[in-house]
Structure 1
Amino acid sequence: MENSKQDLMRTIQLKLPRLSKGQKLIAEYILKHYDKAAFMTADKLGESIGVSESTVVRFASELGFSGYPKLQKSLQQLIRNKLTTVQRIELSNDYMTQENALRSVLKADMENIKTTLENINYETFDEIVNSLFKAKKIYIIGLRDSSSLAEFLGFYLNFILDNVKVVAYGVSDIFEQLLNVDEQDIVIGIGFPRYTMRTIEALDFAKSKNANIIVITDSLLSPLAEKANYTLIAQSNMTSFVDSLVAPFSVMNALIIAVGLREKEKISSTFSTLENIWEEYKVYK
């Protein structure tokens, strides 16, 4: 990832002498403030520097990108895992106010789902569904921000498959919970910036045991993706100290439903039994 950053910055530096006056201003701003530029629209970036939006778009093309969104995405991939929580708060203060927070967040979530829908690999998705039915045991690990995703996926898959274990912090260490993993098992690793070292280490451990690794993350540049046999990409871009998990949740929802469609009779029987239990013990109002 550091090499990617150097390559992009080097490209900008090499192009600098041949750029127009307005494009040079953009280049110089990005070289100094790429962490901020990564989350600016073309219009906002141009306004901050004093050039037109079209100049920003032409600058992206000059660097070899098909459009400004591609340049922006490249910058975001470079820095999102490096941003501290304090830096994220500063960014959200720059581009988001209390008055526009609702609109900004909903629009960002919509864009994340749209991008995920356009770019997700449907063949990989189907292969993952098939592999889950062949596994002796399925381990799911997602820590810190991703723990809610892991719990959600594990909660529903357990109704269908009966061999699912969510690996989480507790009495037993992470590695103790993965002690018996082998080549017949699947380990699903979930991680989004900032990626947790323990999740990466757990996937390394599972890989050393020849387990099949499925990763749900935000990019093929993710350190989790390097460990995977199968990778599902879900966008989680958000200019805030809070991660956007709408698209990841949606992908997991689709995964649960796809698995459930293969086991309709079992699900029907399971939930029929559960309804009787819920009624008897007054689980729901």
Structure 2
Amino acid sequence: MENKDLMRTIQVKFPRLSKGQKLIAEYILKHYDKAAFMTAAKLGVSVGVSESTVVRFANELGFTGYPKLQKALQEMIKNKLTTVQRIELSNDYISQENALKGVLKSDMENIRATLEKISYKTFDSVVNSLFGAKKIYIIGLRSSSALAEFLGFYLNLILDNVQVVAYGVSDIFEQMLNISEDDVVIGIGFPRYAIRTIEVLSFAQSRGAKVVAITDSLLSPLASKADFTLIAQSNMASFVDSLVAPLSVINALIIAVGLREKDKISNTFTNLEEIWQEYGVYSLKDKENKFI
């Protein structure tokens, strides 16, 4: 079922629903943003019906279970939530007392879902494309900028032809002025998607460059501009984006590239260790366990 048709489906089926199911339908139509992050049990309590009634309601709409209905609601709203709305939602399901456990469990679920969704074949194709690229551009704006910088830092130690594109003295498009079909652009973006990242991928596409998207869904606007899409789940009903699963995918990408360049990495880090020691980049301990 298309997400855009979900609310219409509820309205059409409403007259044929049972009394309890109508209460659920009315709640979702009015408070779909909150219902999207409620368990079947919690939704039942909020409406005043049993958990089994909620499950039957999902089945009545054509879903195989409540989780499928919940997923459809989340897909429908995740790009529309403002930061204020995210704060309100996080207050509903994560309290100050259970914040640590709630967030860690959510991140664990994101990694588990990513492991199931990501295409190993696509992952290998992305690695191959990086080795065939004349130059690699990486763009991730807003909250994704940390991911872009992390990926760029490590890839540049291995490949030497990596540029992280970001806001600065020159415009983003000026930084990519000489992009060609020999290059690869990696775009990183999660809800709410940064418009400029999408525009950059379109620009790269128009120049014939190979485009890689690291995003949360094949329905993402980044995916529509990409030759290869790596899916990493980032669901978090909060004002803070969950970037644990995307970072894990990026780690895997760095390691996969590094494994093909073992000798080069060994030489690079041997040289770096000498530089770090000479200039005291990292703290060291002497034999008496004192920092030097």
Fold equivalence (TM over 0.5): yes
Q: 2:157, 2:59 → 1: CA distance?
A: 50
Secondary structure of residue in 1 paired with 2:138: strand
Distance 1:207 1:199 in 2: 12
Q: Secondary structure at the match of 1:188?
A: strand
Are the counterparts in 2 of residues 218 and 234 from structure 1 also a CA contact under 8 Å?
yes
1:6: how far off? 3.3
* Contact kept in structure 2, 1:135 and 1:186, CA below 8 Å: yes
* Match of residue 192 from structure 2: 194
- The question of whether the paired residues in 1 share the 8 Å contact of 2:107 and 2:242 is answered with yes
Partner SS state of residue 185, structure 2: strand
Give the letter for the 2:5 counterpart.
D
Select 1:213's aligned residue among 198, 211, 214.
211
For structure 1, which runs of at least 5 residues remain unmatched after alignment?
A: none
Instruction: Output the TM-score relative to the length of structure 1.
Output: 0.97
Q: How many corresponding residue pairs?
A: 283
Alignment partner of 1:86 out of 84, 97, 104? 84
- 1:52 corresponds to which of 50, 53, 67: 50
1:262 maps to a residue whose letter is R
Alignment match, 1:115:
113
Which residue of the partner structure matches residue 181 of structure 1?
Answer: 179
CA positional deviation for 1:248: 0.4
Residue 237 of structure 2 aligns to a residue in which SS? Answer: coil
The CA distance in 2 between the partners of 1:255 and 1:66, in whole Å, is 35
Q: Verify the 8 A CA contact 1:157 1:256 in the aligned structure 2.
A: yes
Q: Could you say what secondary structure the match of 1:189 adopts?
A: strand
Does the Cα contact within 8 Å between 1:4 and 1:78 map onto a contact in 2? no
Percent sequence identity is: 78
Match of 1:269 in 2: 267
Q: Give the aligned residue type for 1:37.
A: A
SS in 2 for 1:166: strand
Deviation at 1:66, TM superposition (A): 2.2
Letter in 1 for 2:55: V
State the 1:79 CA deviation.
0.9
1:22 is matched with 20
Quote the Cα distance in structure 2 between the aligned partners of 1:38 and 1:254: 31
Q: Distance in 1 between matches of 2:213 and 2:111?
A: 18
Instruction: Kindly report the root-mean-square deviation, in angstroms, between the aligned alpha carbons of the 2 structures.
Output: 1.2
Rounded to whole Å, the distance in 2 between the matches of 1:68 and 1:163 is 47
Contact kept? 2:3, 2:75, Cα under 8 Å: no
Q: Deviations over 1:210-253 (max 9, x none)?
A: 11110001111111111010001111111110010000000100
How much does 1:5 deviate? 4.2
How many angstroms does 1:27 deviate by? 1.3
Alignment partner, residue 11 of structure 1: 9
How far apart, in 1, do the equivalents of 2:173 and 2:190 lie?
Answer: 21
CA contact (8 A) 1:120 1:232 kept: yes
The letter of the residue matching 1:200 is I
Query: 1:100-147, CA deviations, whole angstroms, 9 ceiling, x for partnerless residues?
Result: 111110110011011111111111111111111101111000001000
Measure the CA separation in 1 of the matches of 2:68 and 2:255.
32
Identify the range of structure 1 (247-256 vs 48-57) with the bigger mean alpha-carbon deviation: 48-57
- The structural deviation recorded for 1:95 is 1.8
Contact preservation (8 Å) 2:33, 2:77: yes
Counterpart for residue 260 of structure 1: 258
Question: Paired residue for 1:232?
Answer: 230
Structure 2 residue ranges without an equivalent (≥5):
284-292
The answer for the alignment partner of 1:251 in structure 2 is 249
SS of 1:139's equivalent in the other structure is strand
Q: What is the alpha-carbon distance in structure 2 between the residues aligned to residue 9 and residue 107 of structure 1?
A: 30
Instruction: Compute the displacement of 1:4 (Å).
Output: 4.2
Q: Which amino acid in structure 2 is aligned with residue 43 of structure 1?
A: A
